[in-house]
Structure 1
Amino acid sequence: MERQRNPTSRGTTVDDVLVSPELDRMIRQRGRDLRLRKTDQQQAVKLVNHLIDSLVDFLKNNEDQAFFKEVSVLTSGSYYEMVKINKPNEFDIMLKFKVPRLTFSSLEDYNGVFYKVKLYKPTRLNIQNFLLEDDLTISATKIKKEMHRLVRKFISNYKGEGCWIIHRSQMTSPAVTLELKPKNEEADVLSVDIVPALEVPQGWPQAARAGPDIDRWLGKRCRRNFTSKAVYFVPKGPKAKNLKDEDKESWRISFSHIEKEMIQYHGNKRTCCEGPSNKCCRKLCLRLLKCLIEGLKQHHPKELDALCSYHGKTAFFHTLSVRAQDSLWSPGQVSVCFMKLFGDFERCAQSGTLFHFFVRDHNLFSPPAFPKRSLVFLTNALKEQRESGFPVLRMPSPAFALVPDKSPVICPNSINGTESIADSKHYCRQLSLVCVVVVIGYLFSSFGLSFFR
């Protein structure tokens, strides 16, 4: 057994982490499998960049809605944090809008995560089209609807590669989701979430004023640098039943730009991962935890509907703030480091407490956002995975294929396309039948039988 002695959060005692050789080999192999292929990344980024650049140009030159002209792009999410797993098929883009001075008040029972956002004083600027009856409160619903309308208008005239379609807007999501439909049904769909965000430069809300707990990890100076940056609000209200009408117009605070920076510059020493001699396994451990969470959700979509990768990323940040030294994240100890991270996440589920890394009084594992029955199910599922050697991690990753540059695209809105979905299915059935016949013939011939006689 491989044994590693690691400091606990108090730094005075030690925990023994045991990893069997078999589990160590599996974790290492799974970590290698989760890496993105460069060819897939290049093709996906090319498609997404062209789409976003064209959308921004459209918004800036659109005379229909002047408020959306002053827009800039902020990339976020796992791909830009370089912790995306399996395939580059999901991209998160924030469209930032500058607004006049604001006031904001936290919704009760949510401890500083959701806010009502108002203008400091009445204005005649273009944002007045998105205010409620009091001429001060900024409507999250109106912003989302207008964003959705403009993106739909843009897509209807978009001349880029492939066939992009727009998803129906969901009340619980702040994003407008676009999907690039693949040519065949077996290929993965490429999706882009476009999230409107209000940039608030006058300081963080009181609930987050202390900043993230990174003094022992990245240092006090880095924390002060983060808290001096602008904060963002995205149009998303609480996930709860019987929500008041006024609460449906609330905004969620977003720290995605700082989260990306913390993951990119993750070392206790500024030189971590700058060369082959000072690599660490932090991001690899997060990829493994994300893979575990994704696998559990695929197997139990109903029971673990409340679970998402953000829970894993939050636990990851808490672990980094305790295990701060780069020497504790040696690539040679990736299995031990992952087990430490998994153990921290499992203990959070057992105790029912996973505090937001920036808003320290908000528990991500508390109802109604995370129902108690879901938490019990998650606790049991994590225990079962640990005791049975993580079978979810042993499953192979699905293959990924992007739509080729010059291939025809199956699209209901296509004008010049000649290939139909029915034709594609018929062709696939014929090809499958030929393959089966060839394989059977080969097997028979191997045993001295003449199959084709």
Structure 2
Amino acid sequence: MEDLRRRTSAPRAKKPAAKRATTAPGGNPDALPHAGSCGPRRGARSRPAELNGDLTEKPRAGATRVRPGRASVRTKDSQTSSPGAAEDVEPPVEQPAVREPADPEVPGVAKAPSHRRGGRSTAGQPRAPRVSGKEWDKKLKEVLDKLRLKRDEISVAAKTVNRVVDHLLRRMQKRESEFKGVEQLNTGSYYEHVKISAPNEFDVMFKLEVPRIHLQEYDDTGAFYFVKFKRIPRGNPLSHFLEGDILSATKMLSKFREIIKEVVKEITDTDVSVEEEKPGSPAVTLLIRNPEEISVDIILALESKGSWPICTKEGLPIQSWLGTKVRTQLRLQPFYLVPKNAKHGDGFQGQTWRLSFSHTEKFILKNHGSEKTCCESAGVKCCRKDCLKLTKYLLEQLKKEYEELEPFCSYHVKTAMFHMWTQEPQDSQWDSKNINSCFDNFLMFFVECLRTENLVHFFIPKFNLFSQELIDQNSKDFLLMKIEYERNNRFPIFDKF
């Protein structure tokens, strides 16, 4: 796929003003907020905190427009390394998919907000000491350096995970079962080079080709489907998982888990076990003690080489960034369905499958520049992935302290970052020397997504990841308040390693 990249820089599109976005899953994809260029700005100051009183009773606030030169106050989660970092080096053995600024003048707030939802606004309280731009740049680089995976740790972890996954794959391919034809597909943050802190989480996809399937949309999000066979040949092993004419995700995942548990018992040279099943999860999770614990998610995926579903027609908006030809070629690749069930009342609809484009996301992250040479040895270094890592880390650390943030995940950060990259497509807008302002601008963008309750799925435009049906307003307000405090105080949470 490397030769798909466009060599010429895309023209910078005129940035529309941010609009109030709908909160429904079918929200207008054009209503994404815009944070402006990542170039250095003069004197951007934080707006006083707007969250006052108990968040559970706070009336709905209107959307706030983001204007150049004025910063909105609030954001977080991450992993990429700074120029010349070891992260830019390919992982040792690419087999299992490892699960894987603010302006110097911004005023600070000295007192941390309360951990409870009713934390008061910090506006008007004593400000934290100002930090010079150089000092702040130095701090960000120190954080990125600590987040960078260590070569020796990568080598040990990858070797152990490869050995376990290879054993699983070989045994599945040899035994007579419905999964005899599975193949491995490397996805996840480790192979995207955005894994942070430690190589202790891996995602490994076991794909199974299923020709001639028909998809029936389950709800109006465009993400969940019933899978049916257009024609079921006699002897089709997957016919065991049919409920009527629908391929049951729950039944198929249950059998997949059963086989993995049997194979794991055969492994004697590594301390590995199968974790308990998590409701709604599409993965079978292995726990390896090496002696440090490593979590490996084995994800079953159906591979379809047909045309992408109609709901994705307006998705993947990379034309002005990576180019129309690259987009066309990517859409000719297979798409995948994972046994992630749609929510149904207080439970899940066990027959449903969810679309997955993790393989395409991996390509985008590895080929992220408008110029083909971006971040290559002889090319100019950008800070796109560094900003992604910092924000992932911010969210990760906040989630450790506040259970109210459980609904959020790193995929929200990655999706918002993809949209930001399409709005700021030029490599010069992400110059590594401007990581301070680039990081701050992305935080403002992410904050506006939270405030407007609108984060459009990058591949499925009518699927709003921040809809009320998926994440309640109180949780989004709470994250806004925590990001506001961190941003105003130069991210004290970054010092908690």
Give the TM interval when normalised to the shorter protein: 0.7 to 0.9
Is it true that 1:344 corresponds to 2:428 in the alignment?
no
* Counterpart position of 2:223: 113
Following superposition, the deviation at residue 29 of structure 1 comes to: 1.4
Task: Trace 1:78-89 onto structure 2 (pairs within 5 A).
Answer: 78-89=189-200
Identify which of 422, 438, 461 aligns with 1:360.
461
Identify which of 181, 188, 208 aligns with 2:289.
181
Distance 1:7 1:364, change over 3 A: same
Distance 1:239 1:293, change over 3 A: farther
Following superposition, the deviation at residue 45 of structure 1 comes to: 0.8
Following superposition, the deviation at residue 361 of structure 1 comes to: 1.0
Is it true that 1:335 corresponds to 2:436 in the alignment?
yes
> Contact 1:28–1:335 at 8 Å: present in 2 too?
no
Is it true that 1:9 corresponds to 2:113 in the alignment?
no
Following superposition, the deviation at residue 211 of structure 1 comes to: 3.5
Is it true that 1:137 corresponds to 2:246 in the alignment?
yes
Please state which structure has a larger fraction of its residues in helix: 1
Deviation by residue 1:43-78 (Cα, 9 ceiling, x = unmatched) = 111111111111110001112x1x211111111110
Corresponding residue SS for 1:215: coil
Tell me the percent identity: 35
Is it true that 1:261 corresponds to 2:363 in the alignment?
yes
Deviation by residue 1:173-202 (Cα, 9 ceiling, x = unmatched) = 10000011254xxxx421110000001111
* Counterpart position of 1:303: 404
Task: Trace 1:32-431 onto structure 2 (pairs within 5 A).
Answer: 32-63=145-176, 65=177, 67-109=178-220, 111-124=221-234, 125-132=236-243, 134=244, 136-160=245-269, 162-183=270-291, 188-239=292-343, 241-243=345-347, 247-300=349-402, 302-396=403-497
Corresponding residue SS for 2:247: coil
Q: Distance in 2 between matches of 1:175 and 1:376?
A: 30
Q: Distance in 1 between matches of 2:195 and 2:149?
A: 8
Distance 1:69 1:305, change over 3 A: same
Structure 1 gaps of 5+ residues are: 1-5, 397-453
Q: Which amino acid aligns with 2:138?
A: R
Corresponding residue SS for 1:233: strand
Q: Distance in 1 between matches of 2:168 and 2:102?
A: 51
Q: Distance in 2 between matches of 1:168 and 1:306?
A: 21
Following superposition, the deviation at residue 323 of structure 1 comes to: 0.8
Corresponding residue SS for 1:148: helix
Q: Which amino acid aligns with 1:108?
A: D
Q: Distance in 2 between matches of 1:83 and 1:42?
A: 17
Q: Distance in 1 between matches of 2:279 and 2:300?
A: 14
Q: Distance in 2 between matches of 1:70 and 1:60?
A: 6
Corresponding residue SS for 1:355: coil
> Contact 1:177–1:192 at 8 Å: present in 2 too?
yes
Q: Which amino acid aligns with 1:137?
A: I
* Counterpart position of 2:143: 30
174-183 or 311-320: which moved more?
A: 174-183
Q: Which amino acid aligns with 1:120?
A: K
Q: Distance in 2 between matches of 1:34 and 1:153?
A: 36
Q: Distance in 2 between matches of 1:215 and 1:287?
A: 25
Deviation by residue 1:11-30 (Cα, 9 ceiling, x = unmatched) = 99863365222433221211
Q: Distance in 1 between matches of 2:379 and 2:309?
A: 41
Following superposition, the deviation at residue 7 of structure 1 comes to: 8.8
> What's the TM-score, normalizing by structure 1?
0.80
Following superposition, the deviation at residue 210 of structure 1 comes to: 2.8
Following superposition, the deviation at residue 239 of structure 1 comes to: 3.9
Corresponding residue SS for 1:321: helix
Deviation by residue 1:401-435 (Cα, 9 ceiling, x = unmatched) = xxxxxxxxxxxxxxxxxxxxxxxxxxxxxxxxxxx
What is the alpha-carbon root mean square deviation over aligned residues?
1.9
Corresponding residue SS for 1:68: coil
Deviation by residue 1:197-250 (Cα, 9 ceiling, x = unmatched) = 001111111111233010111000111111111110000112453347xx3210
Following superposition, the deviation at residue 352 of structure 1 comes to: 0.6
Q: Which amino acid aligns with 2:462?
A: D
Corresponding residue SS for 1:46: helix
> Contact 1:94–1:194 at 8 Å: present in 2 too?
yes
Higher relative contact order (CA 8 A, sep 6+): 2
Q: Which amino acid aligns with 2:276?
A: R
Structure 2 gaps of 5+ residues are: 1-11, 18-33, 38-67, 70-100, 105-132
Distance 1:373 1:238, change over 3 A: farther
Following superposition, the deviation at residue 311 of structure 1 comes to: 0.3
Deviation by residue 1:83-110 (Cα, 9 ceiling, x = unmatched) = 000011111011000113111122224x
> Contact 1:211–1:223 at 8 Å: present in 2 too?
no
* Counterpart position of 1:443: none
Deviation by residue 1:338-392 (Cα, 9 ceiling, x = unmatched) = 1111111111111110010000111101133212221121122221221222122
150-159 or 386-395: which moved more?
A: 386-395
Q: Distance in 2 between matches of 1:123 and 1:242?
A: 37
Q: Distance in 2 between matches of 1:7 and 1:115?
A: 35
Q: Distance in 2 between matches of 1:367 and 1:239?
A: 13
Corresponding residue SS for 1:339: helix
> Contact 2:373–2:379 at 8 Å: present in 1 too?
no
